[in-house]
């Protein structure tokens, strides 16, 4: 299970300001701290980037690359920005992401082929709504898979995000369990060991006491790991959660156990 | 997921001494603390009870019952002691436990019928060895189930323990994952929602740093919960683990989420 830091988010005022002023310092500091905390990849969440999309995305990518060679996940809904980011990438890169939404299939999916990258596929309906049950999610996955293979992109390029629901949704807790079944069933449905990814903080979106949010995330994380999740997007500064994630990794992957491998 | 305190163990010198001297105080104090910490049942681990088996077990049961009406799990390999414990029980009671080992089938299983109790069935071979894979465990489960139903005991009386392996076993980490699959598959195999139980501390049996042991247990516990485990035997004084267990319960069982239900 790969740990991807979700800490670099343009919604953070400090980073937004840094991008506007082309100030590398806070961005570099954040990424260095992510690497130190155990990040195995960096998500660059650039948002919609309505102003100067190409320049700002290229600046972000170049800045991050000054301090790490880790894989970058380019997380923007702006096609022009995404293209500029891909062009600026020297590190290996993942497009985050597409779905059955027509605009994403038409504009973003071709970029995965053009730049020969992995691509995250969100299990959303064409109208952007989230499927409720595991069965609904798997139906969407099959359709997304067929769209992707029809374009000629290798199936192995796909990383599926089943959409972790906020618990505050009316059926959030039920959907969280459906997500586990989705992850477990996908490789069998698609006929190959398809990779999966989940955004842990989605679970606790909205208002709520911080300690309880962390507790709920720590309860759900090993459930995701046990279901076979390949990659997890999380706040890499949550030390206890990261220790738990690394322990889950060892539990799932270790042939021979020794206390030394536990963080 | 029911939380069963495993804190009352006769291997603890203080309790052994108390039993010999028929001193109720330390036992009552322990059980009261268990109840306060959130125990939903109490396991009385009396060991083999080679001396005064009937008197000592009856003393234990009666002492525990002076401070709680929670369900008691009678955990001894001594048939005479078990019988005396069952006779002394006013609280509801579970026999812990039987397996395919001939002596247990012959001597302990009939007591479940005689006293009309639930009974834990360990997935062990007749020679007491632990099956390695999920498939092996399921084969043993089917055989145990058939032995039990042939005696006329209601299948719903059975609680299956798939045997959590110590991680220090050569294939401990692998077996831990096989246990998850066993738990998930059992209801389908046996054709009814068979209950399952696991002893969490088994995972970290042996020498090892305490903090890492707790971390590994906290990683494995939600995996067990996600697999559908019905009952967990654990040290109820491990506050953080108990909070996590209760959170797992809510995640699995809650229809409507609210932060207030998270401990």
Tell me the per-residue pLDDT of B162-199, one tens digit each, with 9 for 90 and over. 999 999 998 999 999 999 999 999 999 999 999 999 99
Q: From the CA of B239, how many Å to the nearest CA of chain A?
A: 12
Rounded CA separation B187/B67 (Å):
35
Q: Which of B238, B138, B237 is nearest to B191 (CA)?
A: B138
Say if residue B255's pLDDT is above 90: no
Q: What residues of chain B lie within 8 A of the CB of A223, using their CB?
A: 222-223, 225-226, 248, 251
A257 contacts B167? CB cut-off 8 A: yes
Cβ-nearest to A259 among B180, B212, B254: B212
Closest by Cα among B115, B112, B80, B76 to B96: B76
pTM listed for this prediction: 0.95
Using CA atoms, how far apart are residues B224 and A200, in angstroms rounded to an integer?
19
- What is the pLDDT, as a whole number, of residue A6? 98
Q: Are A40 and A63 in contact (CB under 8 A)?
A: no
Say yes or no for a CB contact (<8 Å) between A172 and B221: no
SS3 content of chain B, % helix, strand, coil (to 5): 50, 15, 30
Residues of chain A short of pLDDT 70, as ranges, are none
- DSSP at A233: E
pLDDT confidence of residue B165:
97
**Tokens representing residue B226 in the block:** 């996600």
**How confident is the model at residue B57, as a pLDDT?**
97
Structural tokens at position B197? 């139980």
C-beta atoms of A262 and B212 within 8 A: yes
Give the pLDDT confidence of B138-151 residue by residue, as tens digits.
999 999 999 999 99
**Dist. CA B231–CA B1, nearest whole Å:** 5
| Tens digits of residue pLDDT in B86-136 | 999 999 999 999 999 999 999 999 999 999 999 999 999 999 999 999 999
Tokens of B190: 């046996």
Element (H, E) at A119: strand A118-122
Q: Which residues contact B201 (CB under 8 A, 6 or more apart)?
A: B6, B217, B233, B234, B235
Q: Which residue of B has its CA nearest to A176?
A: B251
- Confidence tier at B253 by pLDDT (50, 70, 90): confident
B57-95: per-residue pLDDT in tens? 999 999 999 999 999 999 999 999 999 999 999 999 999
Q: What is the pLDDT of residue B214?
A: 97
Say what the pLDDT of residue A257 is: 80
* Total count of residues recorded for chain A: 263
Coil, strand or helix at A152: coil
Closest residue in chain A to residue B172, using alpha carbons only: A257
Mean of pLDDT over chain B? 96
Question: Which of the four pLDDT bands, split at 50, 70 and 90, describes residue B263?
Answer: confident
Contact A223 B251 (CB under 8 A): yes
Tell me the longest C-alpha to C-alpha distance in chain A.
52
Interchain contact, B226 vs A223, CB within 8 Å: yes
Q: Is A67 helix (H, G, I), strand (E, B) or coil?
A: coil
> Could you tell me which of A33, A25, A27 has the C-alpha nearest to residue A8?
A27
Burial A89-115 (b: 16+ CB within 10 A, else e): beeebbbbbbbbbeebbebbbebbeeb
pLDDT confidence of residue A48: 87
Instruction: Look at B259 and B40; give whichever has higher pLDDT.
Output: B40
Per-residue confidence (pLDDT) for residue B258, from 0 to 100: 82
| A133 phi, psi to nearest 5 deg | -100, 170
Please count the residues of chain B.
263
The shortest C-alpha distance from A27 to chain B (Å) reads 32
Chain A interface with B: residues with Cβ < 8 Å: 167-168, 170, 172-174, 176-177, 180, 208-209, 212, 215-216, 218-223, 225-227, 243-244, 247-248, 250-252, 254-257, 259, 262-263
Mutate to test the interface with A, among B181, B241, B257, B263 (most CBs of A within 10 A): B257
């Amino acid at each position: 299970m790969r740990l991807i830091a979700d800490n670099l988010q343009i919604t953070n005022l400090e980073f937004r300001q840094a991008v506007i002023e082309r100030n590398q310092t806070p961005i570099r500091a954040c990424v260095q701290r992510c690497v130190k905390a155990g990040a195995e990849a960096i998500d660059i969440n650039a948002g919609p980037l309505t102003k100067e999309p190409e320049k700002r995305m290229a600046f972000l990518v170049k800045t991050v690359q000054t301090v790490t060679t880790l894989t970058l996940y380019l997380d923007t809904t702006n096609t022009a920005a995404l293209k500029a980011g891909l062009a600026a990438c020297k590190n290996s890169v993942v497009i985050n992401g597409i779905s059955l939404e027509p605009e994403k299939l038409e504009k973003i999916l071709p970029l995965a082929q053009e730049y020969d990258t992995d691509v995250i596929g969100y299990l959303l309906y064409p109208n952007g709504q989230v499927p409720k049950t595991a069965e609904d999610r798997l139906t969407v996955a099959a359709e997304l898979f067929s769209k992707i293979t029809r374009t000629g992109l290798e199936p192995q390029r796909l990383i599926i995000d089943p959409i972790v629901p906020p618990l505050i949704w009316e059926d959030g807790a039920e959907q969280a369990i459906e997500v586990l079944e989705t992850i477990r069933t996908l490789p069998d449905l698609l006929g190959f060991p398809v990779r999966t990814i989940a955004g842990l903080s989605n679970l606790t979106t909205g208002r709520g006491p911080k300690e309880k949010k962390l507790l709920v995330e720590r309860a759900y994380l090993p459930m995701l790991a046990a279901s076979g999740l390949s990659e997890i997007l999380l706040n890499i500064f949550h030390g206890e959660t990261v220790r738990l994630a690394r322990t889950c990794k060892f539990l799932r992957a270790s042939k021979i156990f020794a206390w030394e491998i536990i963080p």
